[in-house]
Amino acid sequence: MALTSDDVSRIAHLARLELQPAEQAAMLAQINGFFSIVEQMSAVDTSGVEPLYTPLSAVSEVALRLREDVVTEADQRTLHQRSAPVVEDGLYLVPKVIE
């Protein structure tokens, strides 16, 4: 998918950029170069490749820096619901807005 200079002009207009002809030509080459790289990457068969947590895990063991999934704060639902106009069974009740 190669862009034309008209495409770059339109993108520049939408981005509120004033590009000189030399800048527009350079931008066209850069954008088309980017799309070329994307097309090359899309052509690579990645079926059967496991997703990586980080690219570093492909070359060495990486310890996850995620914390344990445990509750660390006390339940304060009752405290927070004291200011609500109407609460029932632990749920906030609100007026019906859609008929």
In terms of pTM, does the model score above 0.75?
Answer: no
Q: Say what the alpha-carbon torsion angle 92, 95, 97, 99 is, to the nearest 10 degrees.
A: 110
Q: Which two tokens stand for residue 80?
A: 């927070």
Average the pLDDT over 36-65 and give the result.
Answer: 87
Q: Which tens digit of pLDDT belongs to each residue from 59-74?
A: 888 887 778 889 999 9
Average the pLDDT over 78-87 and give the result.
Answer: 94
Is residue 58 very low, low, confident or very high in pLDDT (cuts 50, 70, 90)? confident
Average the pLDDT over 30-51 and give the result.
Answer: 93
